Structure 1
Amino acid sequence: MYPPNFEYVRATSLDEALKLLSSRDDSAPLAGGQSLIPLLKLRAVSYGLLVDISRLSELRYARYGEVVELGALTRHFELEESPCPFLRQVASRIGDVQIRSLGTLGGSLAHADPFGDWPAAMLALGGVVKIIGPGGRREVEAEKFFKGAYSTALERGELVAGVAFKCPQRGAYVKFSRRHNDFALAAVAVTGEVKEGRVFNVKIAALGAADRPVRLRKVEAVLESAPLRPEVIDEAVEAARREANPPSDFRASAEYRRHLIGVALRRALGRL
């Protein structure tokens, strides 16, 4: 299908982009377009004005230090070669070559697909989402940024400017999908530190466990400071299946997703 008619403006500065997005209720930013354009073609959404922000250098940066800072226009393929191993794992499981070449980190977070890879990764990283808008700049913890399926803390005229987090000592991302690198049926992201066979500062996020990516805090409590022995992993898997409240849809039942979350967690812990 063809999308509805819309106006298109390529912003030449961040200030211009924010003014355009604030000027109309039916405006939306366009970066890689890998989520927005298909929705427009399906007529699932309709906007009167698309503001192309893909050329804004202010949103394109990658700084690796004690704290990692990534701009919203960082493309998926760039993170396939990141110095942070956990980011490489996640990026390599996203879509196909075209999607990874054009799609952006900020676009993925703002889109907030309940089965999107980067939202789960940001939760497991304990990341902060940087937001810029007419009222200035602000930061929101990733866990508070995602409000529900396709719903975020972004307000009218605001953009995701970037993210900040610490690269974990250890991390693993395990994803199940119907086809290679398709949207997840279920996935688990785990980060933490392993010292003398015990796991510390563990963070676990799951896709397919709710209507949005969620932290599995009861599972984290089981694992924190515990030895990664088979009986502890078994307890964590059972805790994950109890804590998960998966949706059912045409791709998978809630029962099947609950099973997959347990399998994904077991494999992720094994990789630690």
Structure 2
Amino acid sequence: MIPPSFDYVRASSLGEALRILDREEGAVPLAGGQSLVPLLKLRAVSYRLLVDIGRLAELRYVRYGDEVAVGALARHYELEESPCPFLRQVASRIGDVQVRSLGTVGGSLAHADPFGDWPAAVLALDAVVKIVGPAGVRELGAVEFIRGPYSTALGRGELVAEVRFRCPPRGAYVKFSRRHNDFALAAAAVAAEVRDGHVVWARVAALGAGEAPRRLRKAEAVLAGAPLNRDTIAEAAEAARREAEPPGDFRASSEYRRALVGVAVKRALERL
């Protein structure tokens, strides 16, 4: 389909992009375009002005140290060979080669698709999202940043600048989709530390467990301090299944998604 008409401007700096987004009514940022352009072509959304930030080098980086800092314009493919194994698992399951080559981490987070991969990953990582806007810089935890389906804490004129987290000692990402690397029917992202066979801490996040990506606190409670064995894994998976309140749609019923969430959590924990 042909998208509705819009004006286009390419920002030459982050400051310029923020000024335009704050000043112009109906302006929206364009990063990799892998989420926004399809919506425009489907005429599901309409904007007066697209502000292209895709070439702002100051937002394109991945830095490793005690913490991992991923700039908003880092492409998915740049994390496919990350020294952090969890990031490799997530990045390699996103879309096809074109999507991974053009799509950005920050764009995915700002879009907050309820079945997008990075929102679940940052919840499991307990990541901090750095936001820049007309009022300056602020930081929010991933749980605070993601407010619902296609809804985040971003205000007018604000952009995701960076996401920051520690690479977990152990992590796994398991995703079920109708076609290879399609949007998830359900998925589980698990980050944990295991010492002497016992779980020191664990964070479990899921797609398809609710209207938006969410942490599964009851499953985490089962795991905390427990031995990582078959019984614990089965109990945590069942807790995840019971905690899930998934939506049903033409792709999968609510009951089917609930079952998939339990299986995804089970398999992710087995990988640990």
Which residue in 2 is equivalent to 1:181?
A: 181
Supply the distance in 2 between the matched residues of 1:262 and 1:197 (Cα, whole angstroms): 22
Supply the distance in 1 between the matched residues of 2:270 and 2:239 (Cα, whole angstroms): 17
Supply the distance in 2 between the matched residues of 1:237 and 1:18 (Cα, whole angstroms): 44
1:53-202 alignment to 2 at 5 Å?
53-202=53-202
Supply the distance in 2 between the matched residues of 1:163 and 1:238 (Cα, whole angstroms): 31
The offset of 1:167, in angstroms, is 0.3
Instruction: Provide, for residues 166-192 of structure 1, a one-character-per-residue CA deviation record: whole Å limited to 9, x for no partner.
Output: 000000000000000000000000001
Q: Tell me which amino acid in the other structure corresponds to 2:169.
A: Q
Supply the distance in 2 between the matched residues of 1:206 and 1:64 (Cα, whole angstroms): 26
The offset of 1:25, in angstroms, is 2.4
Which residue in 1 is equivalent to 2:17?
A: 17
Which residue in 2 is equivalent to 1:46?
A: 46
Structure 2: state its 5+ residue gaps: none
Q: Tell me which amino acid in the other structure corresponds to 1:157.
A: G
Q: Secondary structure at the match of 2:147?
A: strand
Supply the distance in 2 between the matched residues of 1:190 and 1:21 (Cα, whole angstroms): 36
Corresponding pairs, count = 272
Supply the distance in 2 between the matched residues of 1:88 and 1:153 (Cα, whole angstroms): 27
Q: Secondary structure at the match of 2:180?
A: coil
Q: Tell me which amino acid in the other structure corresponds to 1:88.
A: R
1:185-264 alignment to 2 at 5 Å?
185-264=185-264
Misfit runs of 4+, over 3 Å: none
The offset of 1:62, in angstroms, is 1.1
The offset of 1:202, in angstroms, is 0.4
Supply the distance in 2 between the matched residues of 1:210 and 1:25 (Cα, whole angstroms): 32
Contact residue 201 and residue 223 of structure 2 kept, 8 A: no
The offset of 1:32, in angstroms, is 0.4
Q: Tell me which amino acid in the other structure corresponds to 2:239.
A: A
Q: Secondary structure at the match of 2:184?
A: coil
Q: Secondary structure at the match of 1:203?
A: strand
What do you get for the CA RMSD once the two structures are aligned? 0.6
Indicate yes or no: 2:3 matched with 1:3.
yes
Q: Tell me which amino acid in the other structure corresponds to 1:129.
A: V
Q: Tell me which amino acid in the other structure corresponds to 1:151.
A: S
Q: Tell me which amino acid in the other structure corresponds to 2:120.
A: A
Supply the distance in 2 between the matched residues of 1:192 and 1:237 (Cα, whole angstroms): 15
Instruction: Provide, for residues 15-72 of structure 1, a one-character-per-residue CA deviation record: whole Å limited to 9, x for no partner.
Output: 1000111112200000100000000000000001000001111111111000111100
Supply the distance in 2 between the matched residues of 1:256 and 1:137 (Cα, whole angstroms): 42
Give identity over the alignment, percent: 72
The offset of 1:264, in angstroms, is 0.7
Supply the distance in 2 between the matched residues of 1:115 and 1:147 (Cα, whole angstroms): 14
Supply the distance in 1 between the matched residues of 2:187 and 2:236 (Cα, whole angstroms): 15
The offset of 1:228, in angstroms, is 1.3
Normalised TM-score (structure 2): 0.99
The offset of 1:83, in angstroms, is 1.1
Normalised TM-score (structure 1): 0.99
Q: Secondary structure at the match of 1:19?
A: helix
Which residue in 1 is equivalent to 2:27?
A: 27
Structure 1: state its 5+ residue gaps: none
Q: Tell me which amino acid in the other structure corresponds to 2:114.
A: P
Instruction: Provide, for residues 84-105 of structure 1, a one-character-per-residue CA deviation record: whole Å limited to 9, x for no partner.
Output: 1100000000000000000000
Supply the distance in 1 between the matched residues of 2:135 and 2:238 (Cα, whole angstroms): 45
Supply the distance in 1 between the matched residues of 2:253 and 2:271 (Cα, whole angstroms): 27
Q: Secondary structure at the match of 1:204?
A: strand
